[in-house]
Structure 1
């Protein structure tokens, strides 16, 4: 774009209420909390204790909910998704990506899936990969200097089984830009450079005031 969008839309950066995800510094306790929660997610889908242990676990989780419930905050206020130094930027929703490397062409990052992400037979659930690729697409938009955009469509081709407990590399780049539209690509590879999955999609720049 050649014109400064702030001249016609003073609220451009928020687009009528889009959260401003400024970097958060919640302290080391939040990192410990996320690590424990990710392990708890793994155990929630893999543990097989006796009934009494499930009751005790439920008691502890309910106590945790009671502890945090008074501090519920609006989107963009809590530290989740605002701590780049933590896996998944500090969001349990995001696959635990790390080592994000932005460049003028796009982004590279490392991701390691765990038992929580299994769909069956120790393979990552197919529905998890679009979530990863959608996150990569957003990073590409930021890396290449495009305005805030939302996903218009996302298509995934699955080439090989995606393993858990393995450091994988995801890469994303912009293929073409046409006005408000940015056509983006991404791929996921294993340590032997085998292509596990690839995606292409459309990111559309938000209009003035559009959330």
Structure 2
């Protein structure tokens, strides 16, 4: 088995920038207002699934959200142009799709995140929805690929074992690493742990390097 640690992915794959128009994500600097916006939107997501006001308040809230949509709609941009998912200093890199994680390690031998789930992520009984964890692990697999210097890859499969209930409103640690690699294939592992080091869930998957022209 071989690994391409430390290599510029363009040396391994000259078509790195041209996989079916796969966007090249460069860091964005949208200003402090974007961070404030994300914080408010995350809280709004929590309240959207937990608030129980009177009907008039729901109508008032809908009016305000529609005003926000009208404000932002003229500025809708293509993938890779807007700041979402392009601000590494913000939780989840500035993407509301992602759980609000922050990177604490990004090295060839592994990636580590701190993540806190909230009411928005609950599936039932104050536990994180089981479908949210594959999203976290899949994102981590992509980070591992980048950290090892391997070219753009897509997930071929992802398996999750749920060991314990994942709680909300507490800081958790996610770790991911490249187990082995051969040609276009990279096998990746990850785990999610609580503050006491208990494994809440673990995952393994296969990432496949894209061929020229593959989106």
The answer to whether TM tops 0.5 is: yes
Q: 2:45 aligns with which of 41, 44, 59?
A: 41
User: SS of the counterpart of 2:16?
Assistant: coil
Structure with bigger RCO (C-alpha 8 Å, 6+ apart): 2
Provide the aligned C-alpha RMSD in A: 1.7
- Say if 2:13 and 2:151, in contact at 8 Å, map to a contact too: no
Q: How many residues align?
A: 210
Aligned to 2:122: 118
Q: Give the Cα–Cα distance (whole angstroms) in 2 for the partners of residues 43 and 4 of structure 1.
A: 44
User: SS of the counterpart of 1:17?
Assistant: coil
Q: Give the Cα–Cα distance (whole angstroms) in 1 for the partners of residues 166 and 154 of structure 2.
A: 26
- Say if 1:81 and 1:91, in contact at 8 Å, map to a contact too: yes
CA deviation string 1:14-49 (max 9, x = no partner): 412001110000000000000000000000000000
Q: 1:171 aligns with which of 172, 175, 190?
A: 175
User: SS of the counterpart of 1:13?
Assistant: helix
Runs of 5+ unmatched residues, structure 1: none
Aligned to 1:61: 65
User: SS of the counterpart of 2:52?
Assistant: coil
Classify 1:5/1:156 alpha carbon distance in 2 versus 1 (closer, same or farther; 3 Å): closer
TM value normalised by structure 2? 0.94
TM value normalised by structure 1? 0.95
